[in-house]
Amino acid sequence: MSTHLSEQELIRREKLAELNKLGIDAYPAPLYPVTHYSTAIKAGFNEDTKEEYKDVCIAGRVMSVRDMGKACFAVLQDSHGRLQVYVRRDDICPGEDKTLYDVVFKKLLDIGDIIGVKGYVFTTKTGETSLHVKELTVLTKSLKPLPVVKEAEGQTFDAVTDPEFKYRQRYADLIINPQVKDTFVKRTILINTIREYLNEHGALEVDTPVLQTIPGGAAARPFSTHHNALDVPMYMRIANELYLKRLIVGGFDWVYEFSRNFRNEGMDRTHNPEFTVLEWYTAYKDYFWMMNVTENLLERIAIALHGTTDVQVGDKTISFKAPFKRLSIFDAIKENTGIDVSEMDEEGLRTVCKQLNIHVDASMGKGKLIDELFGETSEAKCIQPTFIIDYPIEMSPLTKKHRSKEGLVERFELMVNGKEVANAYSELNDPIDQRERFEDQVKLKERGDDEAMFIDYDFLRALEYGMPPTSGIGIGIDRLVMLMTNQPSIQDVLLFPMMRPEKTVE
């Protein structure tokens, strides 16, 4: 970040000073009587409705000006879109003083400034719906020029396509590329659709702690901090699972939360250290029921956003029409490698990983080895929505043992376009079994696995009071938005993704 002012920035500050000398407040009180928006005007105006558009007031950012001497055409961009406005000197300056047009509008306003205009709507000779301005008010002076498209050596270069610029200065990205806003509008529609679905079916939305003394509910490296008043170490939550299960113990049948989670891990196209997960837990249900609900919910989301269950993702068409394919993790590995690893011990798995040139280390137990095998050989091949089910017990310390398959648990992960979107269990509610699983995690931590779980003794105490049979799920909202809006990177669906600190240059 440079603190040096460019020539254009200096000129704009000089113009601001000139406005002040003329007694014009470039940053007036915020109340401005907007009555209409650009897209509604263009959609609603015609010969039959023109009487309704005789007294219109809009506000927006000046995006272009076409000077014709005593009149100008300009384009204003508001929060809904763009509208052409016609500014004539004698209309906004009816008396002898023409300062507002000759000096303020033509000399002291720049592209990017925000103005308010009042007038009536008409259609130009070229058929474009426009606003004939009768009054003009300066609302905000922009001191930094907007990036513009440039032509160089036969190529078009737009600075706002640069990811460093787009993600760090999202505010400028949204101004120059207003279509980017559509992704975030769809994100909100997606979240509202989920809320409507869950509320319709009797679920209760709740809030649980972000600051925790024990980072439980997932295998991940936490961010740590310190609470000064209590003089205790604290962690940013990596998951809200254990708190939601406490509520099931307390007597709620179905609870959910859109949880902002934090994991101290790397960043790539599908990972951001701060992310959003939807988790819900439902008493007296199992993972088969959860698969049915999940596929019905995703089908509803696709229709809400696109009007169809078919969603374009890159060069693929993903069908979210229920039901989805179901495949065990061992069958998936065998299908893609020809090797049956279902009966192998840790050493056998290490041998297979070596044969397949999959990097592993001494800290990895049986569960991590199977996870690596699946991730390297099979995950990317799950393009259409697929429930990968029936995981080994070593991979799932919070999951109920399979009712009929020894050594497995009742768990599924939903894979779409080669990535995990959801993770669900028939939840473990045996406190003695849960304590043993936590103790196994401690042993992994002692071997050097810094993502292994802590023992949450209060959660064990809660389980000892008795948690009814329960099914739970976590859905990665950011990844789901990526899929549903055809965005290639998680940074494209986060308004302000994590970035390296910007260096300040004097």
Residue list for the binding site for Mg(2+): 413, 420
3-state SS, residue 26? coil
- Cα angle 219, 259, 281 (rounded to 5 degrees) comes to 80
How far does Cα 175 stand from its chain's mean position?
19
Distance of CA 228 to the CA centre of its chain: 32
Q: Which amino acid is at 207?
A: D
How many CB atoms lie under 10 A from the CB of residue 43?
A: 11
Using alpha carbons, select from 285, 302, 324, 307 the residue that is nearest to residue 202: 285
Core vs surface per residue 377-412: b (16+ CB within 10 A) or e: bbbeebeebbbbbbbbbbbbbbbbbbeeeeebbbbb
In contact, 249 and 467? CB cutoff 8 Å: yes
- Give the E-state strand segments of 8-94 in sequence order: 56-67, 71-77, 82-88
Structure tokens at 30: 């915020």
Binding site listing: 413, 420
Question: Residue type for 347, please?
Answer: E
Please answer whether residues 298 and 290 qualify as being in contact, where contact means their C-beta atoms are separated by less than 8 angstroms: no
Question: What is residue 379's three-state secondary structure?
Answer: helix
C-alpha span between 310 and 322 (Å, rounded): 11
**Distance linking the first and last C-alpha atoms of the chain:** 8
Contact yes or no for 22/103 (Cβ under 8 A):
yes
**Residue of 78, 81, 77 lying closest to 39 (CA atoms):** 81
Handedness of CA 436, 437, 440, 446 (dihedral sign): negative
Residue type at position 127: G
Q: CA torsion sign, 165 to 167 to 171 to 176?
A: positive
- Judge whether 56 and 41 are in contact, CB under 8 Å: yes
| Apex 77 CA angle, 72 and 83, nearest 5 | 55
Q: Which residues of 447-474 are buried (b: 16+ CB within 10 A; e: fewer)?
A: eebebbbbbbeebeebbeeebeebbbbb
Asked if residues 264 and 285 have their Cβ atoms less than 8 Å apart, the reply is: no
Asked whether 475 and 422 are in contact (CB, 8 A), the reply is yes
CA–CA separation, 135 and 116 (whole Å): 8
Q: Give the pair of three-digit tokens for residue 280.
A: 């819900």
Ranges of H-type helices in 93-236: 99, 163-168, 170-176, 180-200
